A = this chain, B = another copy of it.
Amino acid sequence: MSGLKRSGKMVRQSLEGAERACRTQGLRLTDKRKRLLTSLLKAAGPISAYDLAHHYRADHGEELPVMTVYRMLDVFIDAGVVHKLRSTNRFMACRHMACDHPHAATQFLICDSCGIVREMDFADAEISKLNQKARSSGFHLYQEQLELHGVCDRCHSGIEEKTPDARAHG
């Protein structure tokens, strides 16, 4: 799974990575932001800003207005440590937050049945082919983030009916 709940150790490592990323970009990682990121890291998968606010409250016994959540998420997205899934309006911590190296294009496989997301990096060749195609059609892609919808193996093998909480596919 992708959005797997992270262990304490992983959370710590990820926070350090986020700190690095923020520092190199002149962004402050305040205590609140750190707490929010922790809640996001602990989430089992991509969640909405509103849900994240609820988690924050549950995790830290403190109210955090959605407005603020959105603002913080924007900061993290700019810093490259959080992704937003546009097709489902959900946010998730970047799989590479704990790594040092940056990663460029990102593709997401989204299960419309159980909601889990797999973050993967296709070969550059594929991406540049996409770009090429787009260019020849008069477009300049500036965001190679692909969100591919489907069903994961688990759900595909017959258990679909048991997970009614699938995330909308509009």
Contact = CB atoms under 8 A, between A and B. Distances in A.
Contacts of A169: 86, 143
A61 interface: no
A130 B118 CA distance: 14
Contacts of A122: 133
B84 A139 contact: no
Interface stretch (A29-37, A38-46, A151-159): A151-159
Interface residues of A, number: 34
A47 interface: no
Interface string A77-92: 0000000101101000
Work out how many copies of this chain go into the complex: 2
Contact of A139 (B118, B140, B145): B118
A150 B146 contact: no
Nearest to A145: B149
A130 B129 CA distance: 12
Contacts of A148: 130, 134, 139, 141, 146
A139 B126 contact: no
A151 B139 contact: yes
A147 interface: yes
20 contacts: A84-B170, A86-B86, A86-B169, A86-B170, A87-B87, A109-B139, A112-B142, A118-B137, A122-B133, A134-B150, A139-B148, A139-B150, A139-B153, A140-B150, A140-B153, A140-B156, A142-B150, A142-B151, A143-B169, A146-B148
Interface of A: 84, 86-87, 89, 109, 111-112, 118, 120, 122, 126, 129-130, 133-134, 137-143, 145-153, 156, 169-170
